[in-house]
Each structure stands twice: as C-alpha cells, then as structure tokens.
Amino acid sequence: MARRPRSGPGRGWLLRLVIAFAFAQGAVSMARPAVSYRALALGADEAAVGVIAGVYALLPLFAAVPLGRRTDHGRCAPLLPLGVLLISGGCALSGLVSSLPAMAAWSGVMGLGHLCFVIGAQSIVARQSAPDQQDRDFGHFTIGASLGQLVGPVAAGALISGQGGALGRTSALALLVSAGVCALALTSLWRIEHRRTADARPRAAGKVPVRTILGARGVPAGILISMAVLSATDILTAYLPVVGEHRSIAPATVGLLLSLRAAATIACRLVMTPLLRLLGRRALLTGSCLIAGLLCAAVALPVPVPVLAAVLAVLGFCLGVGQPLSMTTVVRAAPDAARSTALALRLTGNRLGQVAAPAGAGLIAGAVGVAAPFVLLGAGLIGAAGLGLRGEGRTRPAPEPVGPGADRAPAGPGAECPGGGRSPGPRGGGAVSGRSNRRSAP
C-alpha cells in the first residue's frame, strides 16, 4: 500500500527547490535595484522608475492564468528551467541596452520568467506536501525567496557605486552578474517533481471556471493579503534606492538595509510553526499585517539610518507571514482540480499589485515626495489586516469528489494518498481536525 507517493524518497526535492529558488530570487532581488539605479543614470525621474518597475509585472499579469491551467493538467517541472532562462536573459539584456523603453521591455521578460518559476515551484509544493505539512513546506519554500532577497541587494549594493556615467556602468555590471547568478539555479533542478505525483493527478472533465475559484471562501482574502504584502516588499526593493538618493544614503547601505529586511523575513519563516501554534492562523495574519502597515508608513519619516534599520527589521519579520500563509489559504480553499489555477490567480493579483503599486508610487512620489508611497502601502497593509479577521474558508464543502480532502488533513505525514486517501483520525492535529476526513474519498 503506497503511503508516501507525494513526498517521494525523503524531502530532498524540497531542499533542491529551495536552493534553486534562492538563486533565482537572488538574481531578481539583485536586478531590481540595479534596474532602478541604471534608469536613474540614464536620466529617468521618479515617475519613470515607477513605470519601469511596473512593467516587470505586466507580462505576468496576462500569462499567469494560462500557465496555471496548463499546470493543473500536466507537469510542473518544465516551467522551472524556462523561468530561469527568461530571468537570466532579461537581466543580461537590461544591462546591455541603453534606452529606457528597452529596459522596461526586458524588465518585463524578467518578470515573466519569475512568474514561470514561481507557478511551477508552488504547484510542486502543493502537490507533494501532505495537507497538514503545507504551512511548514510553503514556509520553507519561501525561505528560498528570502535568502535571495537577503543576498541579492547586498551584492547589488557592493557592485553599484559612483555617479552619472560610473553609476550607469556599475549598475549594468550588477545586471550581468545577476544573470549569471540566476543560471546557477539550473544546477539544482533535478528530481524535483516525482513522476508518479504528476501521473496521479485527477483529470478534470473540463476547466473549473475562474468565477468558481474566486467564489470559494478564502480565495479572495488570500489573494488580496498576498497582493498587499508583496506590493510592500516590491516598493521597498524598488524605491528604497530612490529614498536613499534623496537622503544621501550610499547604495551599499541601502543594499544592507534591504538585506536586513530579508534576514528578518527568514527568521520569521523559521519560527512560523511555533507561531501558528501559539497565536493561530487568523491572529498571526491579522497582527502581522497591522504592525507591518504601521511600520511601512514609518519608513516615510526622516529618521536616522540606525532607526530605519530597526524599523525595516521588524517590518521584514511581519512581512514574512503573509506569503506562505496566503499560499496555503488559497490551496486549501480552491477546488482540487484547479489548485494551480488558484495559485496562478493569486500570482495574478500579486502582479496586478506590482503593476499598479510602482506606477502609482511613481506618480505620488513625483507629485508629493519619495516617502509618500510608503504611507499608501501602510494603508494597504492595514486593510489586509481587516481581511485577515474574516478568516479562511474552513467550512466550505469540497467542490470536487477527489483529491486529498483538501483543507483539513487531520492525520500525520504519511497518511494521505493521491486521489484522496483516508487518514486515521487519532493522529489529527489541532482544532482543524474536527471535519470528516472521509469526505474526499472516491
């Protein structure tokens, strides 16, 4: 009786996925501030920097749902090397071109590659993790992103220096190096997705309508919370260099500040399991978004660098909660045959925020000042805290008769089987084990 078809032999696949994600995200985190500095060197103003940052998310905005549909009915792994190649190409060509429109275009290619990688990787985690381990595995998966966000800005800050023409050359060098860093992710992309996991996927008779997915209780809240958290992270990455220029903070110091934020996010995700046990999902989501909103607005204050570092450290810890928990929220609430599409819709929301937030931030910064966008982001995070109070779709009946039962999985790790295996109730954990664990049986 096969009891471990999703996990495969050990958890090496998750470690390799985290390593690959760390390289890919490190390259993107290195390239994003480098693109901002290069655009400034080419004569861009604050509004133009915001538009270029927004184009990064424009192509993914239209590609996310089709990629999710494809992944729901096929393998996820091919998206990973495709994403790496697109990120590397976008980074390299952003450093070689010398016009702002061309930089914006290649920034969009970079964003498309990041989307391909993330959809494939998140879908693999959702498929190969036991339901009661999804919070932990998504938390570990996002550590890869945080590691990349930790190292990338420091490397960019170390490479970028000078003014005028020198700034243009050093930012171009940072973009070329980021392309090489991303290519290293290919060395870890082996035996990530298990064939029997893909073969065991339930085949739906047709596509689950997007309206049905968005109508599942918990999916819209997960999407909006993720959008608010990622927009805050994205604006911090793209606009802290602009704030640094206005406050005479050196690029190397800005890189260290961004990496401090990422280190705090890693610390949060390492202790997420005990935090969930201590506070519960709803309180943790709500409290972290509320505190993050207040601290994000505090970035607008003209405080000394040590105070700014302390604010960013606590802010980074709070921002570490939203992404992994919103992934689990969406996966648990969505129909079993449309989980990848639901994750893609979540990423579409993320990219929509990444298009609107930087462009809006650029307009606000140009009209009011470079600190004003952080106040807007703070308001968005406080709104996300209100969504966290509404809770998840824990009581929603399963819309599909097959699958791992979806959102409860009361049993311990080896207790689920593809297609909705049964799990013994006595080993169930916590308050969520009260639902019947047989409802997803074929």
Q: Could you give the CA distance from residue 378 to residue 372 in angstroms, rounded to a whole number?
A: 10
- Residue 358 forms part of a structural domain: yes
Q: Could you give the CA distance from residue 434 to residue 24 in angstroms, rounded to a whole number?
A: 40
- Residue 286 forms part of a structural domain: yes
- Residue 432 forms part of a structural domain: no
DSSP 280-322: -HHHHHHHHHHHHHHHHHHTTS---HHHHHHHHHHHHHHHHHH
Looking at the whole model, is its pTM more than 0.75?
no
- Res. 162: pLDDT tops 60: yes
Q: Which amino acid appears at position 348 of this protein?
A: T
CB 52, CB 204: distance < 8 Å: no
Average pLDDT, the chain: 76
- Residue 41 forms part of a structural domain: yes
Segment 428-438 shows an average pLDDT of 38
Q: Could you give the CA distance from residue 60 to residue 280 in angstroms, rounded to a whole number?
A: 33
- HSE-CB at 88 with a 13 A cutoff on CA atoms is 14
Using alpha carbons, select from 406, 433, 432, 434 the residue that is nearest to residue 419: 406
pLDDT digits (tens, 9 = 90+) for 110-144: 989 998 999 888 888 888 877 777 778 888 888 88
Number of other residues whose CB lies within 10 A of the CB of residue 85 = 17
Using pLDDT thresholds of 50, 70 and 90, give the confidence band for residue 418: very low
Residue-level pLDDT at 63: 81
- Res. 169: pLDDT tops 70: yes
Domain total in the chain: 1
Residue-level pLDDT at 354: 67
Neighbour-count burial of 199, counting CB atoms closer than 10 A to its CB (0-12 exposed, 13-18 middle, 19+ buried): exposed
pLDDT digits (tens, 9 = 90+) for 192-215: 877 655 454 555 446 777 788 887
Tokens of 268: 């949060």
- Residue 269 forms part of a structural domain: yes
Q: Angle of helix 12-41 relative to helix 79-96, nearest 10 degrees?
A: 20
Q: Could you give the CA distance from residue 371 to residue 300 in angstroms, rounded to a whole number?
A: 4
> Percentage of the chain with pLDDT > 90?
12
CB 325, CB 281: distance < 8 Å: yes
The residue segments making up the domain with residue 371 are 12-190+209-389
Higher local confidence (pLDDT), 148 or 183: 183
- Residue 162 forms part of a structural domain: yes
Segment 181-196 shows an average pLDDT of 84
Residue-level pLDDT at 440: 37
Name the 3-class secondary structure at 250. coil
- Res. 292: pLDDT tops 70: yes
pLDDT digits (tens, 9 = 90+) for 70-109: 777 777 788 899 999 999 999 999 889 888 889 888 988 9
CATH number at residue 148: 1.20.1250.20
Using alpha carbons, select from 287, 343, 368 the residue that is nearest to residue 320: 287
CB 356, CB 348: distance < 8 Å: no
- Residue 126 forms part of a structural domain: yes
Cα 172–chain centre separation: 26
- Res. 419: pLDDT tops 50: no
pLDDT digits (tens, 9 = 90+) for 31-68: 988 898 888 888 888 778 878 877 887 777 788 888 88
Phi–psi pair at 14, nearest 5 degrees: -70, -40
DSSP 159-193: H---STHHHHHHHHHHHHHHHHHHHGGGGG-SS-S
Q: Could you give the CA distance from residue 427 to residue 226 in angstroms, rounded to a whole number?
A: 31
Residue-level pLDDT at 196: 56
Residue-level pLDDT at 367: 63
43: left (phi over 0), alpha (psi -120 to 50) or beta: left
Highest mean pLDDT among 259-268, 305-314, 413-422: 305-314
Using pLDDT thresholds of 50, 70 and 90, give the confidence band for residue 157: confident
- Residue 394 forms part of a structural domain: no
- HSE-CB at 292 with a 13 A cutoff on CA atoms is 34
Using pLDDT thresholds of 50, 70 and 90, give the confidence band for residue 390: low
CB 146, CB 23: distance < 8 Å: no
CA-CA-CA-CA torsion sign (273, 277, 278, 283): positive
Residue tagged 């920097």 (tokens): 49
